[in-house]
């Protein structure tokens, strides 16, 4: 039986859901290409109480022929049991018609997920390779990020799908997003393997891989994109129409585990799930590194370029492109924020203000990464005033916000100088958080308000540029990385939480 697993996607506001429906309509062709046979079914939200999944099934060989349509019916309620859809799904491809949100609380969504779960073709599991991965088995307590992760024996299918590679991981960086997306209420399906900064060696190349890679080649891994939507065509893959489902939710049933090898584990998180010693990786995430890295040490060191570092540095160098007279203020000095500081130094900005609640990080930002000023948010009563003052009185021309913490976010937005830019990079803990904007002030002061994903990067070009900066001594990523054996990931997480380590990198060999 082929497999369909429902992926959930949170959108609580009906009007936003409607906007998304509009946005997605023209991209159906690219969605169909995601091989949704083994991917998601998205739930729509027509009113806050009703879940709708509308899926169209197309003949795999003849995409113009509709062979069936599935929509939820009144039968889809909380008492829903397993439904055998195998006959409907045989040899067909699912096309999402209405990729919308889901109702608050995961109950209905996960029941639908189970109901639509069918198994993958048995021949794909004919041979499996034993390996290990850090598996998130269930949503973890939000305040103890990663407490739900366990090193687990897994089996990796030997047969690869179209455009897939098997990669033996050398190193994987931990980014805050790995923690945030294994939290409860983010629509994630469990068990799953996170990890979205990675490097390793190609072990096998599946059918129809176009990139120049062969077994034994080193590769760097970044994020996934469809390659065929408008944004992808314009070399803006971080804004791919299908970025959220492809990256944040990956695919179900990639690995197996358990004594009978019948239990499935989802992976291909950001197209590669780098928290696995051996992982199934989508070609779109792969950057061939034969001519980029000089040694295995470099391969390890460059693992975090694929998300955190390109995100911070790219927000400055690709998006804002500040000038030498500009004051840049960076809120939050984790892997992302310190990379923004390094980016601002590369751009030659006059004043670079490092903001955090951990004094050691502020000191480090100044001593090593190029900040000229520091601000500790602890015990401050008027954060906006303090931010303006440390930025020379009028406030910064550019704010890169990476804490996602409402007080810091709002204070720093209001600190921006006239005609300045505010760039949101950090994700708030509550995905439904909203902040109120003084619209009149906003327009009269000519503030630019930007969201920024993955530093606006085109990784195939920007990562080599970052490596060049590293070699020139302008991007000292070695000063922010600390290595841990993969089995010591709990210690790595602990040190990341306490602020002792900025960018933990797990080593798999
Ligand atoms: N937009 C994107 O494409 C993208 C990519 C990667 C990461 N992210 C997000 O960016 C954020 C940062 O990621 P990271 O890996 O650098 O995280 P991190 O946890 O390593 O760093 C966060 C920093 O913010 C500081 N901070 C938190 N609350 C604060 C407060 N109230 N006042 C001052 N400082 C505070 C912490 O001390 C820490 O130094 C996360 O939300 C992550 O999910 C976004
Ligand atoms: Zn795309
Ligand atoms: Zn990340």
Distance in Å, CA 23 to ligand 2 centroid: 13
- Tens place of pLDDT per residue across the chain (509 aa): 223 333 333 322 333 333 333 333 322 222 222 222 222 333 333 332 233 333 444 444 444 544 444 443 333 333 322 233 333 333 333 333 333 333 233 333 333 333 333 334 445 556 789 999 999 988 776 567 788 899 999 999 888 988 999 999 999 999 999 998 888 767 677 889 999 999 999 999 999 999 999 999 999 999 999 888 889 999 999 998 778 777 887 787 789 998 777 788 989 999 999 999 999 999 999 999 999 999 999 999 999 999 999 999 999 999 999 999 999 999 999 999 999 999 999 999 999 999 999 999 999 999 999 999 999 999 898 999 999 999 999 999 999 999 999 999 999 999 999 999 999 999 998 878 899 999 999 999 999 999 999 999 999 999 999 999 999 999 999 999 999 999 999 999 999 999 999 999 999 99
| Residue-range domain boundaries for the chain | 14-119, 124-306+479-507, 309-456
Pocket of ligand 1 (CB under 6 A): 175-177, 180, 307-308, 311, 332-337, 355-358, 361, 377, 402-405, 408, 425-427, 452-454, 499
For residues 151 and 172, give the distance between their C-alpha atoms in angstroms, rounded to a whole number.
14
For residues 57 and 94, give the distance between their C-alpha atoms in angstroms, rounded to a whole number.
4
- pTM for the predicted model, two decimal places: 0.81
Pair 9, 187: CB distance under 8 Å: yes
Biggest alpha carbon–alpha carbon distance for the chain: 68
Q: Which fold has domain 124-306+479-507?
A: Quinone Oxidoreductase; Chain A, domain 1 (3.90.180)
Cα end-to-end span (Å), the chain: 37
Distance in Å, CA 233 to ligand 2 centroid: 7
Instruction: Count CA within 13 A, CB hemisphere, residue 77.
Output: 3
Give nearest CA residue, ligand 1 atom 25.
332
Pair 362, 331: CB distance under 8 Å: no
Query: Helices in 56-182 by DSSP H: which ranges?
Result: 86-89, 107-115, 176-180
Helix (H) or strand (E) holding 414: helix 406-415
Write the CATH number of the domain with boundaries 309-456: 3.40.50.720
Which ligand 1 atom is the nearest neighbour of the CA of 428?
41
């Amino acid at each position: 039986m082929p497999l369909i697993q429902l992926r959930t996607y949170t959108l609580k506001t009906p009007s936003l859901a409607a906007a998304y429906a509009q946005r997605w309509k023209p991209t159906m062709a690219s969605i169909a290409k995601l091989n949704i046979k083994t991917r998601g079914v998205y739930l729509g939200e027509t009113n806050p109480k009703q879940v709708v999944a509308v899926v169209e099934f197309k003949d795999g060989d003849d995409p113009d022929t509709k062979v069936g349509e599935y929509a939820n019916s009144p039968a889809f309620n909380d008492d829903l049991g397993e439904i055998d859809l195998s006959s409907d799904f045989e040899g067909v491809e699912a096309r999402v018609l209405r990729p919308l949100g889901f109702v608050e609380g995961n109950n209905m969504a996960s029941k639908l997920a189970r109901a639509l779960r069918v198994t993958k073709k048995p021949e794909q599991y004919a041979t499996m390779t034993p390996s290990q991965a850090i598996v998130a088995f269930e949503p973890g307590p939000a305040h103890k990020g990663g407490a739900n992760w366990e090193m687990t024996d897994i089996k990796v299918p030997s047969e690869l799908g179209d455009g897939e590679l098997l990669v033996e991981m050398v190193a994987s960086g931990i980014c805050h997003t790995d923690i945030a997306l294994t939290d409860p209420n983010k629509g994630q399906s469990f068990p799953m393997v996170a990890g979205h900064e990675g490097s390793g060696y190609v072990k096998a190349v599946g059918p129809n891989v176009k990139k120049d890679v062969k077994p034994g080649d080193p590769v760097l891994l970044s994020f996934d994109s469809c390659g065929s939507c408008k944004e992808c065509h314009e070399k803006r893959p971080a804004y791919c129409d299908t970025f959220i489902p492809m990256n944040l939710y990956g695919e179900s049933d990639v690995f197996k585990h358990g004594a009978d090898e019948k239990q499935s584990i989802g992976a291909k998180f950001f197209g590669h799930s780098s928290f696995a010693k051996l992982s199934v990786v989508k070609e779109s995430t792969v950057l061939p590194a034969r001519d980029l890295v000089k040694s295995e040490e470099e391969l390890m060191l460059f693992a975090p370029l694929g998300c955190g570092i390109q995100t911070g540095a790219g927000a400055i160098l690709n998006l804002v492109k500040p000038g030498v007279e500009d004051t840049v203020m960076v809120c939050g000095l984790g892997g992302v924020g310190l990379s923004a500081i390094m980016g601002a130094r590369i751009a030659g900005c006059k004043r670079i203000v490092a903001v955090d609640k951990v004094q050691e990080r502020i000191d480090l930002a100044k001593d090593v990464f190029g900040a000229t000023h520091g601000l500790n948010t602890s015990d401050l009563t008027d954060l906006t005033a303090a931010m303006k003052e440390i930025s020379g009185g009028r406030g910064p021309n550019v704010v890169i916000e990476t804490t996602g913490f409402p007080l810091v976010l709002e204070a720093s937005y209001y600190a921006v100088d006239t005609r300045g830019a505010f760039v949101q990079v950090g994700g708030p803990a509550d995905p439904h958080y909203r902040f109120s904007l003084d619209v009149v002030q906003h327009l009269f002061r000519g503030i630019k308000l930007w969201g920024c994903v993955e530093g606006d990067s085109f990784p195939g070009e920007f990562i080599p540029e970052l490596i060049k900066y590293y070699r020139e001594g302008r991007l000292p990523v070695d000063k922010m990385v600390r290595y841990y054996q993969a089995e010591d990931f709990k210690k790595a997480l602990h040190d990341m939480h306490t602020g002792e380590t900025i960018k933990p990198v797990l080593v798999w060999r």
